[in-house]
Structure 1
Amino acid sequence: MSNMRPDLIFLAMLASVPVARPAAAVDLATLELPAPVTDGDYMAVTPGEVALGQLLFFDPILSGNENISCSTCHHPRLGTSDGLSLGMGEGGHGLGPDRVAVADNMPEDRVPRNAPALYNLGAREFTRMFHDGRVEMVDGRLRVPIEDPFFETVSGVLATQAAFPVMSPDEMGGQVSENPLSKAIRQGRFSGEGGAWDLIAKRVAAIPEYQSLFERAYPEIAFGRPIYFADISNAVAAFMAFEYRADDSAFDRYLRGDEAALSDAAKAGMALFYGEAGCSSCHSGPFQSDQGFHAMGQPQLGPGKTLDFERGHRDEGRFRVTGKAEDLYAFRTPSLRNVTLTAPYGHAGAYSDLRAFVVAHLAPGDALMHYEPIHATLSDLPPEVAEKDWDVMGNEADVAAILSAIEVEDRTLAADQIDALMAFLAALEDDPKRLGIPESVPSGLDFEK
């Protein structure tokens, strides 16, 4: 990494971009655009599940120390993410970039990957969850990194995804011996009597309002079946699918026949996106994702995703799931819906500014070699935690490995073309407002609003 002054970094990146020139005229009718999104593209939900899931999503009752909710890292005010490159779960207080470490319960680590946005995850085409796709539906069968009968009872991949954060000590579970949940997690006990999911289900069922809401949402519970954690995951998934469905952007209206929905600048950007710039080779389909995995040379920061016995702080992405060399440093293509709201960007949140990310994404090799930490947004943490942040970027061998995996050639676009792409990305914005943030939750616990 260079020693360039931080205030000159972004200007230096743009200096490599050619002088602005008029964009070539493109016949929009020749573009291969996706079909408009319809109701049939989404999973079915019921009003009772959604109303229940809303309360559970914002209720810290699901966390080990009863101080963190799903919304802590996926807040609607922050584009269903948390505004940080790498989040701070257990040991933190506050929301997003204002979240600070609690003096008497310091975090042991940052969350190793950027909190992904939740928009449209209820769409049927989202069959892989997390940046590495470690939860996925393949040929009608659910694949997960651990064996547990719990996964035979959830409604699908979205409900499965909702179950994982509570198992993470740094996200929601809590650290060793802090609470019964964290002890069960450390011992690898999830299902069954005294398991982590069982403990949460019993905690929720003990609240009369929740018991009543579960009975309304799931008739078998009204007939006497206990509340299981799978019911909690299913309800949370139903809420996310309903609440964060985003398919009424200017782009959606254009696809449905309203040619005036897009500005001239957005149309020029769309022509580039689906044409010369080649963005749609990966960002295809109605939600601008091929749902695949690609090595795009994103800078690595934070603790990484290594096993306990391994040294270093690298994150090898999809390779950790498949074991295939061609998947080294490959990460899932994110949807671009509401991308203007979901900063920072990249699996480790290396870029806090969307335009800087777009420029870097076009020339990932050059951007990786000249990356500077000023682009990230990180909470202040104790030195023993923060000192890991830039280990990978300071290691020539690690950077060379990321660089060698990049699967595209560096390129640049003119400044006016970047402007047009930014206008098109803005046209993908549709921030849904449905149930919103509840005034309170049945547990009576405080949560971030």
Structure 2
Amino acid sequence: MSGGWARVVLTGYRLAGAAVYPFIGGYISMRAARGKEERSRRRERYGYASAPRPEGPLVWFHAASVGETMAVIPLIEAVAERGISIVLTTGTVTSATIARDRLDPAIHHQYVPLDLRPAIRRFLDHWRPDVAIFAESEIWPMTILELGARRIPQILVNGRLSDKSFERWKRRSSLAEALFEHFSHVIARTDIDAERFRQLGARPVTISGNLKVDTNAPPYDPNELAEVQAQVGDRATWAAISTFDGEEALAADAHEFVRPHVNALTIIVPRHPERGDAVEAMLVQRGLKVARRSRGDVIDATTDVFLGDTIGEMGLYLRLTEVVFVGRSLTGEGGQNPLEPAMLGAAVLSGRNVQNFRETYQKLLKNGGGRIVRDGDMLSKAVHYLLTNDKVRQDMIKAGQRTVHDMRGALALTIRALEPYISPLAVKARLQTYEMERQEE
């Protein structure tokens, strides 16, 4: 694709967006009906702000969903500590909940505007960001072009490109270059990611490591944890977390395999809590007794499965066990982040489809903190083995925690790379505060 064709494609994208803009309301309403949008905040998706813009310098952070939001929270807090105002946009209800629960109320959260010129312009006209910082792999053409037209620096942090995304962009290299040239800086997660961004035209590109390693352990309510632990008692536990359709059935298979040998409680935490009804129906059909967290069910000696179908309680679920299978890796593709269970002291199991977290799993496997299972049968045997072999389990736990410790440092490297963009805003914020204090005297 030539540069001329890239311009044609982007013009077509803009015109198509203008054509569908008047009819997008039905789509948003449908998502709201399915619980994927907050009905009361739908206007934010059109760029209408639900909060006034604070005075002084402001940075726009964007993180698509929960994982990206968790990754940038320490970075947001570091920037906010320097007196700079923040608006954070996310795209999911779950990530909005995380932002509300974890961030200072002075940090404004908005749902990300649709990548349509009227919505983007309305958002930028109101918030007037001095810098825009996007997490991981958020490439939205109209947003990038509109920021570029306004000469607002754009930075990609914790940047990554999956195998599939890289192949798609390579087939449209001129289009990629036409977009990526607008980034003032790409701070990539790994050497591989950095090289991919360079091949697609991004300059400059530096490497930070994975910001997700530098996040704090997911929080929990100590009283809630103590209550659930008392219900579990001395039963062995294992968890299947971030599961996708089909993996809950494999977890049920593992439970039935282990049950004759170990008095075990299986914890299942679907990646999408709204699937709770379907998962429970499948488990009950198999004759398993289920306690659902969302209902406040009590776990007793006859409970087979504790179904963690709530938002924002991963910290509780992970602290209930020392054996964790990380989903989207057997029936799904790409994998999910294994760092949180490793950080909190769990031996990690995963399927082979972990392309999105390849480097992390490589380090975890090399150090002995994780194991790959090729199918449901192997998962069942691995769970049984770890539950009945304390030394092997503890050795894996220690290796996983050592791996997390050795991988830390991405936050400091990212902050250092952002200094040329953030330092002038921090100076401006201090001067503004000084002037306001003078006027009050």
Q: TM-score range by the shorter chain?
A: under 0.3
Provide the TM-score with structure 1 as the length reference: 0.23
Structure of larger gyration radius: 2
The higher-RCO structure (CA 8 Å, 6+ apart) is 1
Structure with greater helix percent: 2
Structure with greater strand percent: 2
